[in-house]
Structure 1
Amino acid sequence: MMLNKWLVYLLLCIGSISYGQNTPNKIPLTEVIISVEKKFSIKFSYAVEDVAAVTIEKPNILFTLQETIAYLNSKTLLNFKALDNRYVTVSVINKTISVCGIVLSNEKKSPLIGASVVVNDIGRKAITNENGKFNLQNIPINATLTISFLGFESRQFSANELFSAQNNCKEIVLSTKKEELNQVLINVYLTPGLQKYLDGSTVLNTKKFGILPGLIEPDILQSIQALPGVESTNESIANINVRGGTNDQNLVLWDNIKMYHSGHFFGLISAYNPNLTNKVIVSKNGTSAEYSEGVSSTINMYTKDLLTNTFSGGGGINLISTDAFLEIPITKKLELHISGRRSITDLYKSPTYTKYFDRSFQDTEINADSDQNNTSSDFYFYDYTAKLLFDLNEKHQFRANIIGINNALDYSESRITNSNETQSKTSTLSQKNIGYGGNWKAQWNSKLSSNFITYFSRYNIDAADYRVETDQRLTEANEVLETGVKLNTHYKTNDNLNFLLGYQFNETGMLNQTTVSAPFYSSTKKDVLLNHALFSEVEYNKNNTYFRVGLRLNYFQKFEKLLVEPRINIRQKLSDQFALKLEGEFKNQSTTQIVDFEDDFLGVEKRRWVLVNDKDIPIATSKQGSFGVEFNKNKLNIEAKGFYKLVDGITASNQGFYNSFQFSNAHGSYTAKGLEFLANKTAHHYSVWVSYTFSTNDYEFDTFAPSTFPNNVDIRHSVSLGFYYNILKNLKIAVGGIWRNGQPYTKPIEGNETIQNGNNTVVNYDLPNKENLNDFMRLDASLNYNFNLSESIKASFTAGVINTTNQDNGINRYYKVNPNDSNDAVQVDNKSLGLTPNISFRVNF
């Protein structure tokens, strides 16, 4: 008997050694039970749900019954007990267990920091620490866990696979997604949740977002302003200037739907709810041939695209708005994601609202001083999204999306006439963007895949302004209708090489309309443009070399015009620390915004979308190149890059000139060139960064005198710095600031401020953009605290302050004729936000 025992133990040891070298295939416990019942003519008594999800290595055929029971007890979390020679009972030792794991990448087995661990069906979540490790307590024994990380294939494990009584955590290796050669280069870029890809694009993962100075939520349009080369001269997300470009030169996509509107509160708050946004990719140069338009940048927003079969959601409130989102599994193959947000400004006017209101409506009819009139205004906004996810099988996925954005303003004014009668006026302003989209992803075989995309986008801005003094009603409308279809086909020859071939068709229609009641006047202009495009590129990534080279052919049917756009993006690693980066692209743009009148849309929104006509409004084209060096060691990342950018086909009407060219019709170009620098040191508890941009940016209009002068957004020097620190495990703080040169402006000629132009008196401007405002300086801070309300409900409190020092910053200056003295010009200064606090409270489950 002793010999048999030692033989059994020897066999177990040999089995364990064999397991360590070549992992055997596990089989369901139910199969083992059936086999043992037949071999020993016994009966197991158990609850089906206790053993249904358990797998085990098959016991050795030499085991006796007692040895088999001992083996089953050692390999499972169940209690096997022989009542007699006929019956064996099976019971659960613990209904819940503790699990742990260490998540690693398949390359160099480096830890994946911030990987997501979700317990399916119950919604418990965790993220990995700086060592890639996670721990979860009190997990149901039959639970399934999904482990995922951006850019990597997700994996699922049963809870008992990750159980270890000795806390010997299982190593979990995630493989890079096969369809994505463009891997993550830097996992933590400025703050957790911000990452950098090999092609140089910046990626925001909102679910893992840490904190940035002044922000109370992961707002990509605010976050990217910490990057070199990205400015907002009037601190508005509706006016982001990338390497000297205007805001309409940024292509904004939400789940492949082209959006024409990006901000609430007329640019101070992002119009895109971040809670269902999975990632956002920002590209300044070297863009994929898949994309055109946006001669300055491409901003791609993607919502969550994987079915989790887990009901989850959350909600929050701050001093401006409240929001909620839900992820609702309908079946195992069908899921619905919805979100909504609405301002509370019409119910409660917080100090934050007052600051935003004064900033947004300064120098407009809404905020104009009037001693004779009584005025009131009511402003609110809302947005909503919905996404239906359907997985037909492992090879075919269908998605359908909708997004809606709305800003609404009602403005009332009353005055008492000389005859003691009260006259009232009501003006309204509505700004909307709604988009519908769908796509079908198909994996035809291991090498060939396709993605068919279709979308519809509609943008409207409508204003009705009733003027009491003249008994005149003015209505203005701007509408954009765009339909798009795109087919992307990917062919992957191996793990290192991928080919893309695609076709895109767009139909864009625009309407601009103005009507006046007395005297009656009406103007309506409609334009439609059809655009066909073929594009192809090859992407390669192996060892120290990454490159993506592509070509896009654009054909404009209306003009019978073909534009050829080459693209290049190369990164060559010289050593473990140093790499060189080369990017270049040609792009075009057929839609643009123009500034028509100083009082467009109640003076609140001064821009209208128009289509090019290849005459007085030509197709804008850009040629851009950049070259830089990167250094990365011990989580210290340093980048230096020189760039040159030429954009041709801009018009005087879309630059918003406040000078002698304000009402001129001409087209020209601008050239931006300079140097960008970024240094970022990250660790588990902190991140510190500084970015600097030096650039020169000049217009060239051949028909103007002078023909060359500084761009409206010619900011020669710009510095951004910040500090993020984990004070405690659940308490974070971020402090940062911005300093840059003041924006250029044009002064009138001293002593001869106005001149007569026909029947009108106008400002007599000096040389354009010869002067600069005082330097812009701002210090921001944020504090975030996370805590658990229960096992499955997480909560967070965030406080943020913009412009903590209440710095008086000018963001624009222009002049107009003094209504009381036509020989004098009045200076008008627009100011930035003063000290502006905000707080938010969020709950997620």
Structure 2
Amino acid sequence: MIRPVKSFWLLAFLLIGQFVYCQHNARPVPLQNILATISKMHEVQFNYLEKEVAAIQVVPPSKELSLSAKLTYLEQQTGLQFARINEKYIAVSSKKAESIPETESLEKITIPLQEITIARYLTTGISKSLTGAFIIKPKHFGILPGLTEPDVLQTMQQLPGIYSADETTSNLNVRSGTHDQNLFLWNGIRLFQTGHFFGMISVFSPTLTEKVTIFKNGTSAFYGESTSSLVAITSFTENEVKPATGFSSNLISAEFHTQMPLSERANFRISARRSYTDLLATPTYQNYYDRVFQNTIVTDIHSQKNAAYHSAETFYFYDFTAQYQQKIGNRSEVTAAVIGISNVLDIHQENANAIQFRAKNSQLEQQNFGVTTGIQHHWNENHTTKADGYISYYNLDATNNALENNQNLNQQNRVTDMGIRIEDHQKITSDFTFSSGYQYNEIGITNNDNINKPVYSRKVKEVVRSHAAIVETVYQPNNRFFLKTGLRTNYIETFSKFILEPRLQLDYALTTSLHLEISGERKSQTASQIIDLQQDFLGIEKRRWTLSNETTIPIQRSSQIAIGFTYKTQDWLLSMDNYYKKVSGISSRSQAFQNQLEFIKINGDYSVLGSEFLIQRNFGRVYSWLSYGITNSEYTFDTYIPSQFTNNFQVVHSISWAGVYEYKQLKIAVGSKWHSGRPETTPLSSVVALDNPLKPTINYNMPNNTTLSDYFQVNFSAAYTWQLQCGAQLELAAAVLNILDKKNLINRYYRVNTDTNSIESVNTYSLSRTPNLSVKYTF
């Protein structure tokens, strides 16, 4: 337990030594690196032409200087002009006016003042755009309670209306939706696995991530195959890539990344991360382990029998990304990228009391690999065409060798998703933009189960092919009015069915501070996750992907409408969003029932009516925010009695608060989360039903007749960054999740104890107090 911590701080001290060395050996560094550092320190953005700054290198100004003093210093050293456009934007230009060739891109000096409505939403690096999307830029990320780095999916849970029913990134619930109803894209590749360590850590490394776009409603018509939210992650950069390498580590994993220009127009970037949990057991890993594996075959291996077993587990994960960008002339660009994600769990079990010694090995592997390539061409400054193709492969494979009966069970879930996309965007006038596109998608899913005792084998393979035609318009006649409309026409070739999906986003400035927002959408999806048995895949990753067949599993369809207001001044932010959402075609097997509906296969829908509120106040170096959400969500299953009851993922009330202090290189955050308990179904009696003496059962009350106890958690984070004079950067961060060590009950179900023919409750508790440390060094 002590060795990894010692190693961690040894690395930190070595890096600090490098820092001291650099302080006394200052040397010139690229101006673009200096501007990037100043942007992050002072929350400003520089706009410039690449050709004017690319070759300039100067000794960085002292970090103790004010922003104005740094700009004056840079003007003296570079001969450039630094003009303040407003509080956020600074234009960089040569003092001597030069004519610019027609072929020169002016994108670097374009100031998108109307693109962002809220520049800092919750924290630095999170903004909200006129399109209704939340934009996260990890490189400009501030700090949030409980996080040592900008974990994409953990950050997403800070937004109103988004939470995880079981504290994982593989079970995100957006406005009462299930996790599989969210669409996750990495550079256009659909990912079917989003969590490492079975959901405790996001698979998306923030190191090379440039931008994360999140839609809860009003999604662009260019995105389909989801009935809830969209999370689109982009790692391609619009800026010139400078050589940079970095190492980082926390108490779970270590990471390496590097980027390098191959020429003036081409660059290559890679990142790789691996846990060392199979080598060292840190306190952070042990707490994650206890949270993930409680009530699974890993820790509950007795199969409800009185026998003595020993088990040993080996777990590790890794991920990697690689990407290539090549500009062709001044108008075209080619891109290619790959991503790989893997989790491996090995379980060794022994029967200690058996007369004949027995030992078995079980294993679970989960992988997602993807590749994409694309091309983009600018016909002129008002007309752009894009085309790309992608393949995503997902595999979940579990082998369970039971000690007590020598039963061997192998289960496999495979997904192959491939497609092509073509987009055309044309600015017809200064007020009106018209976009169109075509998409083709083919998704195949295989489910395979094999048992030796009794001999049983099942293999089901399904394929769905679909086409989509897209049109989208944006009308913005002035700074007060923004309207985006879209229509996605899906043709499901497999079922010979058309599905129309209109989209809408309106933003109207009633005053300079008050905005009215109206959004709406209809969406659909053919792929979803179901649970056949709670013990599937060792009881850890119980969900398997499957496809709609329009009989037992229909196509899911959603409709959503929302109206809200945003009030923004220099120091205040107030927002309110009221919404109604309905999703039809859901299967009871996709909703994680663990009551009388667990083995019933019926289809229905759910509807949710809710409101989300946010108040944020800026006190200079300190800012704070408070959010509140209220929802009423119900299922409707017409063939079941009662036909209506509470949604499994409903939390009626939820409150989040955080306070953040930022001063120069120091950042501190503390925050809390509270929400009412999730629904629970209790037994009618503590005595089992013996209608069939050989198979006793439980008689339940009405579904979701009560709720669990309330959830409460307090989290803390702190980080300090050293901007080294030799162009390097060192960051140390510490965080504590559940600092009060509150034992929150997050799930409860009931089962029959076959030894005593009695009913016992099985409780799942939240993560206990969990510290984490991280160090990151880039140069």
TM-score, length-scaled by structure 1: 0.81
Distance 2:739 2:319 in 1: 29
In structure 1, the partner of 2:44 is: 113
Q: CA deviation at 1:433?
A: 0.4
Letter in structure 2 aligned against 1:644: Y
In structure 1, the partner of 2:193 is: 261
In structure 2, the partner of 1:827 is: 761
Specify which of 223, 226, 231 is matched with residue 294 of structure 1. Answer: 226
Q: CA deviation at 1:249?
A: 0.6
In structure 2, the partner of 1:382 is: 318
Distance 1:813 1:534 in 2: 45
Contact kept, 8 Å, 1:449 with 1:489, in 2: the verdict is: yes
Contact kept, 8 Å, 2:326 with 2:335, in 1: the verdict is: yes
Q: CA deviation at 1:219?
A: 1.3
Asked which structure has the greater RCO (Cα within 8 Å, sep 6+), the reply is: 2
Q: CA deviation at 1:656?
A: 1.0
Contact kept, 8 Å, 1:98 with 1:135, in 2: the verdict is: no
Distance 2:276 2:373 in 1: 32
Structure 1 residues 327 and 472: alpha-carbon distance in aligned structure 2, compared to 1, 3 A threshold: same
Specify which of 222, 240, 263 is matched with residue 154 of structure 2. Answer: 222
In structure 1, the partner of 2:568 is: 632
* More displaced stretch, 399-408 vs 742-751: 742-751
Distance 1:253 1:478 in 2: 20
Specify which of 602, 607, 626 is matched with residue 690 of structure 1. Answer: 626
Structure 1 residues 100 and 563: alpha-carbon distance in aligned structure 2, compared to 1, 3 A threshold: closer
Tell me the number of residue pairs that the alignment of Structure 1 and Structure 2 aligns: 727
Structure 1 residues 358 and 498: alpha-carbon distance in aligned structure 2, compared to 1, 3 A threshold: same
| 1:402-801 paired onto structure 2 within 5 Å | 402-416=338-352, 418-419=354-355, 421-541=356-476, 542-682=478-618, 684-726=620-662, 728-756=663-691, 759-801=694-736
Letter in structure 2 aligned against 1:399: T
In structure 2, the partner of 1:839 is: 773
SS in 2 for 1:762: coil
In structure 2, the partner of 1:353 is: 285
Contact kept, 8 Å, 2:689 with 2:696, in 1: the verdict is: yes
SS in 2 for 1:663: coil
Specify which of 236, 244, 252 is matched with residue 304 of structure 1. Answer: 236
Q: CA deviation at 1:803?
A: 0.3
SS in 2 for 1:360: helix
Distance 2:746 2:440 in 1: 39
Distance 2:136 2:324 in 1: 23
SS in 2 for 1:384: strand
Distance 1:546 1:561 in 2: 33
Q: CA deviation at 1:760?
A: 2.4
Contact kept, 8 Å, 1:113 with 1:187, in 2: the verdict is: no
Structure 1 residues 253 and 146: alpha-carbon distance in aligned structure 2, compared to 1, 3 A threshold: farther
SS in 1 for 2:684: coil
SS in 1 for 2:210: strand
SS in 2 for 1:774: coil
Letter in structure 2 aligned against 1:557: E
Letter in structure 2 aligned against 1:374: H
Distance 2:65 2:162 in 1: 31
Distance 2:623 2:132 in 1: 20
Contact kept, 8 Å, 2:32 with 2:54, in 1: the verdict is: no
Distance 1:101 1:428 in 2: 46
Contact kept, 8 Å, 2:75 with 2:82, in 1: the verdict is: no
SS in 2 for 1:274: coil
Q: CA deviation at 1:756?
A: 3.5
Contact kept, 8 Å, 1:97 with 1:140, in 2: the verdict is: no
Deviation string 1:684-703 (CA, Å, 9 cap, x unpaired) is 42221011001100000001
Deviation string 1:550-604 (CA, Å, 9 cap, x unpaired) is 1110011111110011111001101111111100000001110001111111111
SS in 2 for 1:400: strand
Q: CA deviation at 1:453?
A: 1.6
Distance 2:140 2:59 in 1: 15
Contact kept, 8 Å, 2:60 with 2:725, in 1: the verdict is: no
Q: CA deviation at 1:484?
A: 1.1
In structure 1, the partner of 2:296 is: 364
Deviation string 1:179-235 (CA, Å, 9 cap, x unpaired) is xx9711111111111111112211110001010000011012111212211111111
Structure 1 residues 154 and 505: alpha-carbon distance in aligned structure 2, compared to 1, 3 A threshold: farther
RMSD of aligned Cα (Å): 3.1
Contact kept, 8 Å, 1:153 with 1:174, in 2: the verdict is: no
Q: CA deviation at 1:635?
A: 3.1
SS in 1 for 2:589: helix
Q: CA deviation at 1:97?
A: 11
In structure 2, the partner of 1:61 is: none
Letter in structure 1 aligned against 2:495: F
In structure 2, the partner of 1:12 is: none
Contact kept, 8 Å, 1:734 with 1:781, in 2: the verdict is: yes
| 1:16-95 paired onto structure 2 within 5 Å | none
Contact kept, 8 Å, 1:452 with 1:488, in 2: the verdict is: yes
Q: CA deviation at 1:771?
A: 1.1
Q: CA deviation at 1:826?
A: 0.6
Deviation string 1:28-50 (CA, Å, 9 cap, x unpaired) is xxxxxxxxxxxxxxxxxxxxxxx
Q: Which 4+ stretches in 1 moved above 3 angstroms?
A: 94-103, 114-149, 152-158, 416-419, 751-759
* More displaced stretch, 773-782 vs 518-527: 518-527
Contact kept, 8 Å, 2:467 with 2:491, in 1: the verdict is: yes
SS in 2 for 1:779: strand
Q: CA deviation at 1:236?
A: 0.9
| 1:94-109 paired onto structure 2 within 5 Å | none
Distance 1:807 1:646 in 2: 35
SS in 2 for 1:277: coil
Letter in structure 1 aligned against 2:227: V
Letter in structure 1 aligned against 2:413: N
Letter in structure 2 aligned against 1:113: V
SS in 2 for 1:444: strand
SS in 2 for 1:659: coil
Contact kept, 8 Å, 2:686 with 2:759, in 1: the verdict is: no
Aligned: 1:401 with 2:337: yes
Q: CA deviation at 1:787?
A: 1.1
Q: CA deviation at 1:654?
A: 0.6
In structure 2, the partner of 1:337 is: 269
Q: CA deviation at 1:753?
A: 3.9
Contact kept, 8 Å, 1:749 with 1:766, in 2: the verdict is: yes
SS in 1 for 2:468: strand
Q: CA deviation at 1:666?
A: 0.6
Contact kept, 8 Å, 1:114 with 1:129, in 2: the verdict is: no
Structure 1 residues 591 and 132: alpha-carbon distance in aligned structure 2, compared to 1, 3 A threshold: farther
Letter in structure 2 aligned against 1:304: F
Runs of 5+ unmatched residues, structure 1: 1-93, 104-110, 163-171
In structure 1, the partner of 2:19 is: none
Distance 1:132 1:424 in 2: 70
SS in 1 for 2:262: strand
Structure 1 residues 363 and 97: alpha-carbon distance in aligned structure 2, compared to 1, 3 A threshold: closer
* More displaced stretch, 410-419 vs 429-438: 410-419
Contact kept, 8 Å, 1:123 with 1:312, in 2: the verdict is: no
Contact kept, 8 Å, 1:116 with 1:148, in 2: the verdict is: no
Distance 2:89 2:743 in 1: 50
Letter in structure 1 aligned against 2:627: S
Q: CA deviation at 1:136?
A: 9.0
